[in-house]
Structures are given as structure tokens and as C-alpha cells.
Amino acid sequence: MHEKLSPARLEELRKMDRAHHLHPFTDHAAMHPTGTHVITSGEGVYLYGEEGKLLDGLAGLWCVNVGYGRKEIADAVSRQIRELSYYPSFFNTTTEAAVLLADRLGRMAPGNLKYAVFSNSGSEANETGLKIIRQYQILKGKPNRTKILTRNYAYHGVTLATASMTGLPNCQQPFGLPLPGFLHAPAPYAYAVGREKDAEAYGQECVAETKKLIEKEGPDTIGAMILEPVQGAGGVIIPPAGYLAGMRKLAREYDILFVADEVISGFGRMGCWFLSEMWDLQPDLMILAKGLTSGYVPMGATMVAQPIAEALMKGGYFAHGFTYTGHPVSAAAALANLDIIEKEKLVERTKDKTGPYFQKKLREFAGHPAVGEIRGMGLIGAMELVPKGGRKELKPGMNLGILGAAKVRSEGAIVRGIRDLLAFSPPLVITEPQIDEMFASVRRGIDKLWD
Ligand SMILES: Cc1ncc(COP(=O)(O)O)c(C=O)c1O
């Protein structure tokens, strides 16, 4: 268990990788001289590879909520494959696992989000949401409501439409995006504009700007407002008090559907099953993926409010679905994963124990000379980094987060570097001593940031 690759095998893999593998979100010219890292095994919060043992402070990509190597999920997947490896849910048919998961999600999702449409990723779940919004608006006699309102720093996926929803220039510029009809309102990212001391007032200004944008575009042309209640990949942006309530109110005022993208926040990370429930957002659609299966196998779900689902069911043929929509193996993995989260009370534990401890340890960095701001809730957090001389010396393209994450990795923990910040999102099974261990690596890493 956890054996290292031999140097010869590692070199062989790196050679094949250089010759034949284009990686996602990777600068190949920077990676090829040294070669890719190869992760070979995982258990709990730890990963093993040629670098040795690493504490995974990002849960893969914000998704491995129950930690690595869970036998219960392996057994459920194995059982399902032996019994029925695959059958679609097209054409009046389905499988037991898909029905059980739809029923379970329909009962646990907040408010009247009673129906699940399955897919294979967060991008597909958002893309599915976009098509449902279009069809619903057409069925309601409002075919002109095709525009979609999202925000700067949003991350909703990488397909043409979901990358258009995403508000990050590096995800759009290389592809000539966004497509027409995707609107971006300001994000309540107070630190980015030097307003962290009056974040609440800044949040209200963002709501007022969004209102202006809606008025300028014409409310009757906008189908939906889609937002992550806490923005994740854009930099762990925690909304100031009153901001989300203001955005929800705007959507109601203009009869715009409200969609909560809970791909990261769903299934416990912030100390609740869903932020929509904790913050009473009453979304019309809710987007799920990642923690649904803890990343063991791919799966996404678009939760649909009852009145919209009823309109779709009465609206004739629902001409949407992927070959693997409701895949029984993914559904079996999701059910076993949800059993673990419930049985081990990972949501309650994050809320009452590990989340508060993690936030306390994170905030101990507040006085560090290389740290500009700390943000977070539950088991998610961010640390803005500053160069020598302080924040006034910060220049575009410094990428202190990328630099910092590399230093932390060489000290034994994986964290995410985003622009000039570090992001943290460990598996929910992390213990208090492991949180100490992770932040000890972070401290050793950022102590060397200015070297
Ligand atoms: C909030 C949010 N929505 C959607 C996505 C896209 O999910 P996927 O990468 O599974 O397509 C992500 C991925 O990080 C996400 O964080």
C-alpha cells in the first residue's frame, strides 16, 4: 500500500504524458521540463505519489468530502457493476439506483426542489439548468427571456455556455467567450476593490449595480440569475450580510428565475447540507455535483422546483439527456456517499467542531506580514497574499497564490493557488490534529514566500 513508483517507471510515465496527454487547466510549457506529478494512492485526507505523502487541503478539486479510499463506496460500485453495469433512463425506462437517488435528493433538497435531472459534472448540471430555463420560459409564453445574468469571479463550468457564465477572463479570452446574452454583474469581492472595511455597504452597491444592469438590458429579456452562494474557484468570496437577500429580492421583483450553483457548497462543506437552506434562498433550480459522489465517479444533478418540473412534464417531450444521465453506478456511489455523510454526521461535525477549529487556525494567520486578508466558513477558506512592502506593491501577474501553493506543497500539503490567494477546502473527515498539520505546512510555505 502507498508504494512509490520506481524512478524508471515515473520517467516512463512522464515521457508518455509529454507525448500524448493534454491536461486540463495546465501550462504545458511550464510543466514539461520537470514532468507531471503522478499521484498513486489515497487514504483519508492523504495522497501518495513521487513527492511522498501529501495532506490534501483541497479535497481533490473541492469534492472528496468523505476522504479517499472508502470501502463502502467501492463495494457499492462493485455490487452495482456486477448486477447491472449500465442502462439508460431514456424512453420510459430507468434503474433502481437512479430512482432511489432521485427520491433521496428530492426529499433532502430545500423547499420545493423535488425533482432531479442527472448528468455527469457540474458543467453539465448547469448546462441542463440553462436548457430547462429556456424551455420553461418558452412554455410560459416568454421566449424572449433568453439572457442569463451571472457575476464577475463566478465559476460555473467549461462548456461554451457555462464558460460564458463563468466570470474569469482566463476561462473566456482563449475561446472568444462569452457568447452573446451572458451578463456579468459585480461580485461582492470587497477586498479586490479595497472595500473590506465596509463590505456590507459594498455588497449593497453590487446589488444596486445589478439592478441597473437588469434595467439597462430589459428585465423581459432575462431568463435567470445564476450564482454560487459562496463563490469558490473565483477566490472563496463570502457574501457580506444582506447581499444575497438583496439579489434574491431583485430576481423576484423582475420575475427572473433564481438558480443556486451549490456544486461546491452542497453536501456539507460549509456546515450545512445546502447554503440555499441555511440562507433561505428558495431557488428555482439548484445545481449539484462534486460532493454528491465525493468525486469517486462523475455525477451532477440539477434540482428543479415543483412548478417548473410540472410545466416541463405537461410541456410534451423533454428532449434532453446524456447517454449516462442517471448512470446506475454513479447513483450507487452517490447513495453510499450520502450514507457515509449521514452516518458519520459530517455536516454536523463541520458545523460544530472541525469547521470552527479550522476557521480559528486560519485566522491565526491574520498578523502574518505576507497575508492581506483571511476569509472562510466551515471547511473552506482563503488567504490573500501580499508581496514584500505590503499590498500597495501588489502588481497584476505576480500570482503569489500560485507561488505560495508550490511552496506549501513542498512542505507537505496541497492547497490551491488562485491569482494572489491560497484557497483551502480539505475533506470533511479531516481531524483537528490534521488541520494543525495542514496549517503548519501552510505556515512553513508562506514564511518562505518572499525568499
Ligand atoms: C460552483 C461550480 N459550478 C460548476 C463547476 C463545474 O463543475 P465540473 O468541473 O464538474 O464541470 C464547478 C467546478 O469547480 C464549480 O465550482
pLDDT, tens only, 29-67:
999 999 999 999 999 999 999 999 999 999 999 999 999
For the CA of 290, the closest atom of ligand 1 is 10
Q: What is the mean pLDDT of residues 289-301?
A: 98
Rounded to an integer, what distance in angstroms lies between the CA atom of residue 206 and that of residue 202? 6
Q: Is 228 in the pocket of ligand 1 (CB under 6 A)?
A: yes
- Same domain for 193 and 234? yes
- pLDDT score of 71: 98
Residue in this structure with the C-alpha cell 462548456, named with its chain if needed: 159
Q: Is 289 in the pocket of ligand 1 (CB under 6 A)?
A: yes
pLDDT tens for 250-278 read 999 999 999 999 999 999 999 999 999 99
What are the cell numbers at 82?
456486477
pTM of the predicted structure, to 2 decimals: 0.98
**Residue 19 is assigned to a structural domain of this protein:** no
Percent of the chain residues topping a pLDDT of 70? 100
Residue 323 scores a pLDDT above 90: yes
HEC string of the chain? Answer: CCCCCCHHHHHHHHHHHHHHCCCCCCCHHHHCCCCCCCEEEEEECEEEECCEEEEECCHHHHCCCCCECCHHHHHHHHHHHHHCCCCCCCCCCCCHHHHHHHHHHHHHCCCCEEEEEEECCHHHHHHHHHHHHHHHHHHCCCCCCCEEEEECCCCCCCCHHHHHHCCCHHHHHHHCCCCCCEEEECCCCHHHHCCHHHHHHHHHHHHHHHHHHHHHHCHHHEEEEEECCCECCCCCECCCCCHHHHHHHHHHHCCCEEEEECCCCCCCCCCCCCHHHHCCCCCCEEEECHHHCCCCCCCEEEEEEHHHHHHHHHCCCCCCCCCCCCCHHHHHHHHHHHHHHHHCCHHHHHHHHHHHHHHHHHHCCCCCCCEEEEEEECCEEEEEECCCCCHHHCCCCCCHHHHHHHHHHHCCEECEEECCEEEECCCCCCCHHHHHHHHHHHHHHHHCCCC
Burial of residue 446, with CB atoms counted within 10 A of its CB: 0-12 exposed, 13-18 middle, 19 or more buried: buried
Which range marks the domain in which residue 101 is found?
71-343
Q: What is the mean pLDDT of residues 421-437?
A: 98
Identify the band that residue 13 occupies on the pLDDT scale cut at 50, 70 and 90.
very high
For the CA of 231, the closest atom of ligand 1 is 1
Q: Is 237 in the pocket of ligand 1 (CB under 6 A)?
A: no
- Same domain for 138 and 75? yes
- pLDDT score of 1: 78
Domain CATH number, residue 408: 3.90.1150.10
**Residue 191 contacts residue 372 (beta carbons within 8 Å):** yes
**Residue 419 contacts residue 384 (beta carbons within 8 Å):** no
Domain CATH number, residue 220: 3.40.640.10
Which residues neighbour 186 within 8 Å (Cβ) at sequence distance 6 or greater?
151, 152, 205, 206, 209, 210
- pLDDT score of 2: 87
Domain tally for the chain?
2
- Same domain for 216 and 159? yes
For the CA of 228, the closest atom of ligand 1 is 1
**Residue 143 is assigned to a structural domain of this protein:** yes
- Same domain for 61 and 133? no
Q: What is the mean pLDDT of residues 294-303?
A: 98
Average pLDDT, the chain: 97
Residue 451 scores a pLDDT above 90: no
Going from the Cα of 123 to the center of ligand 1, the distance in angstroms, rounded, reads 6
**Residue 5 is assigned to a structural domain of this protein:** no
Q: Which residue has its alpha carbon closest to ligand 1 atom 1?
A: 263
- Same domain for 259 and 284? yes
**Residue 210 is assigned to a structural domain of this protein:** yes
- Same domain for 276 and 417? no
Q: Is 121 in the pocket of ligand 1 (CB under 6 A)?
A: yes
**Residue 132 is assigned to a structural domain of this protein:** yes
Residue in this structure with the C-alpha cell 513508483, named with its chain if needed: 5
For the CA of 61, the closest atom of ligand 1 is 14
- Same domain for 277 and 320? yes
**Residue 399 is assigned to a structural domain of this protein:** yes
Domain end position, chosen among 327, 343, 359: 343
Going from the Cα of 175 to the center of ligand 1, the distance in angstroms, rounded, reads 18
Rounded to an integer, what distance in angstroms lies between the CA atom of residue 438 and that of residue 341? 22
- Same domain for 246 and 395? no
Going from the Cα of 157 to the center of ligand 1, the distance in angstroms, rounded, reads 5
Mutate to test the pocket of ligand 1, among 25, 123, 228, 293 (most ligand atoms within 8 A of CB): 123
pLDDT tens for 115-157 read 999 999 999 999 999 999 999 999 999 999 999 999 999 999 9
**Residue 392 is assigned to a structural domain of this protein:** yes
- Same domain for 181 and 321? yes
**Residue 331 contacts residue 337 (beta carbons within 8 Å):** no
Going from the Cα of 125 to the center of ligand 1, the distance in angstroms, rounded, reads 9
- Same domain for 54 and 106? no
Mutate to test the pocket of ligand 1, among 128, 263, 265, 322 (most ligand atoms within 8 A of CB): 263
Domain end position, chosen among 309, 343, 377: 343
* Distance of alpha carbon 346 from the chain centroid: 18
**Residue 31 is assigned to a structural domain of this protein:** no
Rounded to an integer, what distance in angstroms lies between the CA atom of residue 332 and that of residue 447? 45
Q: Is 437 in the pocket of ligand 1 (CB under 6 A)?
A: no
Burial of residue 302, with CB atoms counted within 10 A of its CB: 0-12 exposed, 13-18 middle, 19 or more buried: buried
- Same domain for 93 and 138? yes
Q: What is the mean pLDDT of residues 314-337?
A: 98
Q: Is 156 in the pocket of ligand 1 (CB under 6 A)?
A: yes
For the CA of 289, the closest atom of ligand 1 is 10
- Same domain for 86 and 49? no
Q: Is 65 in the pocket of ligand 1 (CB under 6 A)?
A: no
Q: Is 120 in the pocket of ligand 1 (CB under 6 A)?
A: no
Cβ neighbour number for residue 365 with a 10 Å cutoff: 17
- The distance in angstroms from the start CA to the end CA of the chain is 37
What are the cell numbers at 153?
469571479
Domain end position, chosen among 343, 364, 390: 343
Half-sphere exposure of 83 (CA within 13 A, CB side): 12
Going from the Cα of 369 to the center of ligand 1, the distance in angstroms, rounded, reads 33
